[in-house]
Amino acid sequence: MLKLILQRLGLAVFTLFTVCVLVFGVTEALPGDVCTAFLGRDAQGTRLENCRQQRNLDQPALQRFADWGTGVLQGDLGTSLKRDKSINDLVATRMRNTAVLGFGAAMIGIPLAIILGVMAALRRDKPADMMISGTSIFAMTIPEFVTATVLIFIFSIQLQWFPAVTTVRHNAPIADLIPNIILPMITLALVMMAHILRMIRSAMIDVMASDFVQMARLKGVPYWHIVFLHALPSAMLPAINIIALTIAWLLGGVVIIEQVFNYPGIGTLMIRAIYDRDLPLVQAIALILAAVYVLCNLLADLSSLALNPRLRTAR
């Protein structure tokens, strides 16, 4: 058990290191560097020299990677070019905002997906199932910005319940974010639900046909106990990895959705950073997103350990 966890942790650390190397390598391989990007037409002569010296760009690449790496290890992501501020400060509040958005979406989306998936499985091929499954396939095929636009049209323009775009600043307290967060949260939840729901549905159909479920029925276990105590834990297993992948995918979706709603999160920040050629900032955000990705998968592995006694306990 402990060995397994350590193995997974080791793997996670290794993946993150590889990501660091890749991210650094890619920015290194791009033509020009931050100074040429920043200075634009003025990138020549002493200005360029000065700029490079200022940012230690005259050092060899390996040296800079080591410096950057130690910085990252100590929790210092470097300095933003454009804004000339510590990236940590820039990222912290945006990360908080995105986390609130993502977490909220997951909290609504995952349980709802599980419940609807179970319902669809139990009512297999009946109208309820067809409606749930049909809608989820439909939801899968619509890009998130379309969903977002439709939601804005209905709830902001027609009903005027929620604001269409976020107008508060990035460092506003969470309470101020709440009304702004609802529409992006629903959009995210809708998009992520479809995959999870379908996975749960098919896993649940398999498990409900298994011997131990039939046996539970013949032991006189009431129906809903069978569904939630006997069958669901087994049906969750294949769904966990899908959930993790969906959450990780959510990070990509979040960039677009934040953009649509002008939400001050990490996605919006990243778009701006790319727009501004603020390479250190892009680098930092890429690393953060990768870290979240790895973390999600790690959590998925650990929760399948928790759910599957076969993995957890030796014979």
Partner 1 sequence: MNKPMILEVKDFSLGYTAANNELVSVLRNVSLDIEAGEAIGLVGESGCGKSTLALAMMAFLRSGSQVQNGQIRYHGSNLFEKTEKQLGKLRGGKIGLIPQNAGQSLTPTMKIHAQLAEALRLHSDLPRSTWHQRSLELLKQVRLPAPDAMLQRYPHQLSGGQQQRVAIAMALAGSPDLLVLDEPTTGLDVTTQAHILELLCNLRQELGMTMVFVSHDLGAVARISDRIAVMYAGEIIELGSCADVLRTPAHPYTRGLLNSIPRLDAEGLPPSLPGYPPKVGSVKQGCAFAPRCTHATEQCQQDAALVAENSHAVRCHRSGDLRRESASINVIQLPVKPTLEPLLNIEELQISYHKAGLLDQWRNIEPPVATVDEINLQLNKGETLALVGESGSGKSTIMKAISGIQAPRKGQIELGNEDLSIAVEKRSNQLKRNVQMIFQNPDASLNPRHTVCEILQQPLKLYFGLNHESCRQRAAELLELVRLAPHYLDRMPGQLSGGEKQRVAIARCFAGDPDLILCDEVTSALDVSVQAAVLKLLKELQQQKGVTYLFIAHDLAVVKAIADQVAVLYQGRLCQIGPVDEVFNGVHHPYTSALLNAVLAPDPEHQPKLSGDDASEQHPPAQGCAYQRRCPQADQTCSEQSPPWRNDGNNRIRCHHDLLELTLRNNSPELIEVANF
CA distance 213 to 221: 10
Residues 104, 106, 108: CA angle, nearest 5 degrees: 70
Smallest gap from Cβ 203 to partner 1, in A, equals 13
Binding mask 228-247 for partner 1 (x = CB under 8 A): -xx--xx-------------
- Centroid of chain to Cα 215: 40
User: Does residue 210 touch partner 1 according to CB under 8 A?
Assistant: yes
102, 254 in Cβ contact below 8 A?
Answer: yes
Residue with smaller CB distance to partner 1, 140 or 229: 229
56 DSSP assignment: T
Which of these ranges, 46-54, 93-101, 110-118, 213-221, lies near partner 1 under the rule CB under 8 A? 213-221
Q: Which of 215, 228, 252, 274 binds partner 1 (CB under 8 A)?
A: 215
Which of these ranges, 26-34, 48-56, 98-106, 207-215, lies near partner 1 under the rule CB under 8 A? 207-215
189, 196 in Cβ contact below 8 A?
Answer: no
CA distance 285 to 146: 26
Total number of residues binding partner 1 (CB under 8 A)? 25
Residue with smaller CB distance to partner 1, 178 or 215: 215
User: Does residue 272 touch partner 1 according to CB under 8 A?
Assistant: no
Nearest Cα to 71, choosing from 61, 86, 82? 86
Alpha carbons within 13 angstroms on the beta-carbon side of residue 10 total 6
CA distance 9 to 302: 10
Which of these ranges, 107-115, 160-168, 285-293, 306-314, lies near partner 1 under the rule CB under 8 A? 306-314
Smallest gap from Cβ 231 to partner 1, in A, equals 8
Q: Which of 83, 170, 217, 277 binds partner 1 (CB under 8 A)?
A: 217
Q: Which of 74, 218, 224, 275 binds partner 1 (CB under 8 A)?
A: 218
**For residue 105, what are the contacts with CB-CB under 8 A and spacing of at least 6?**
184, 185, 186, 188, 189, 192, 250
Q: Which of 60, 157, 220, 224 binds partner 1 (CB under 8 A)?
A: 220
Which of these ranges, 63-71, 137-145, 187-195, 304-312, lies near partner 1 under the rule CB under 8 A? 304-312
Q: Which of 219, 228, 252, 274 binds partner 1 (CB under 8 A)?
A: 219
154 DSSP assignment: I
Nearest Cα to 184, choosing from 267, 258, 252, 253? 258
CA distance 99 to 289: 11
Residue with smaller CB distance to partner 1, 60 or 220: 220
Q: Which of 221, 295, 299, 305 binds partner 1 (CB under 8 A)?
A: 221
- Phi, psi of 137, rounded to the nearest 5 degrees: -65, -40
User: Does residue 305 touch partner 1 according to CB under 8 A?
Assistant: no
Which of these ranges, 45-53, 172-180, 209-217, 285-293, lies near partner 1 under the rule CB under 8 A? 209-217
39, 47 in Cβ contact below 8 A?
Answer: yes
Q: Supply 263's token pair.
A: 């939400």
In the complex, which residues of this chain contact partner 1 (CB under 8 A)? 210-212, 214-223, 225, 229-230, 233-234, 307-310, 313-315
